[in-house]
Amino acid sequence: MTGISQRAYARLRGVALSAVQKAIKTKRITPNADGTIDPERANQEWERNTFAGKTLHQATQTTRPQVVPLSAPPPRGGSGMPGQPDVSSDPVAAYLRARAVSETFKAKTAQLEYEERAGKLIQATKAGEYAAHWSAIVGDALSAYPDRVAPLVAAAKTEAEIHRILVGETNALRRKMAKAISDAGY
């Protein structure tokens, strides 16, 4: 058959002219020397070189898929439903899975960087330093509490007076810890 124009081949194939031009540009089909297209050769090249809707493994196989009759029993150990493809036999699926993992990692990293810059997060080492400092403040205050309160309680004559002393000293301890924290910049 003689060559036809790209526009005529697009109509014959049922695709847009731009799809035919892209197929030529990406060397999926080859035009004749005069720029026309041999439809039979172009159809064969199009099928052989176009992977749309196929994995690379499926597209490069030259054998036809095995046809199983509808009355055939399902494979052993399965429900007849196709399982997940083997990673080694499907490089396109493996690539897509790896790309999805990579993009997910990038998105999570960007989210963490944003939250850190917004002041919602701090570095783990800095959090550890804050915790150690807070622990030292609380530990020192609690260690001094009995020595400071015991003589006052011993001198008290009534239960109400003891209660008033303990409440006052506890509030003073709270204020001291709050001041120490604010002075440290937390």
Which tens digits make up the pLDDT trace of 70-124? 554 555 554 554 455 444 567 888 888 899 999 999 999 999 888 888 878 878 8
Evaluate whether residue 177 is within a structural domain: yes
Evaluate whether residue 30 is within a structural domain: yes
| Gap between the Cα atoms of 167 and 71, Å rounded | 85
110 and 135, same domain (yes or no): no
Quick check: helix, strand or coil at residue 171? helix
Q: Which of the pair, 64 or 128, is modelled with greater confidence?
A: 128
Domain count for the chain, please give it.
3
| Gap between the Cα atoms of 119 and 117, Å rounded | 5
Orientation angle between helical segments 39-49 and 6-13, nearest 10 degrees: 60
Q: Residue 179 has what pLDDT?
A: 83
168 and 136, same domain (yes or no): yes
93 and 141, same domain (yes or no): no
| Gap between the Cα atoms of 183 and 134, Å rounded | 12
| Gap between the Cα atoms of 38 and 27, Å rounded | 14
Instruction: Report pTM.
Output: 0.34
112 and 129, same domain (yes or no): no
* DSSP code of residue 4: B
Q: For 63-74, how does the pLDDT look when each residue is reduced to its tens digit (9 = 90+)?
A: 444 554 555 455
Evaluate whether residue 67 is within a structural domain: no
Structure tokens belonging to residue 14: 């049922």
133 and 99, same domain (yes or no): no
| Gap between the Cα atoms of 111 and 105, Å rounded | 10
* DSSP code of residue 26: T
Evaluate whether residue 159 is within a structural domain: yes
Evaluate whether residue 75 is within a structural domain: no
Domain that holds residue 13: 6-54
Evaluate whether residue 132 is within a structural domain: yes
Evaluate whether residue 80 is within a structural domain: no
- Max avg pLDDT among 6-15, 84-93, 125-134, 136-145: 6-15
172 and 130, same domain (yes or no): yes
Q: How many residues does the chain have?
A: 186
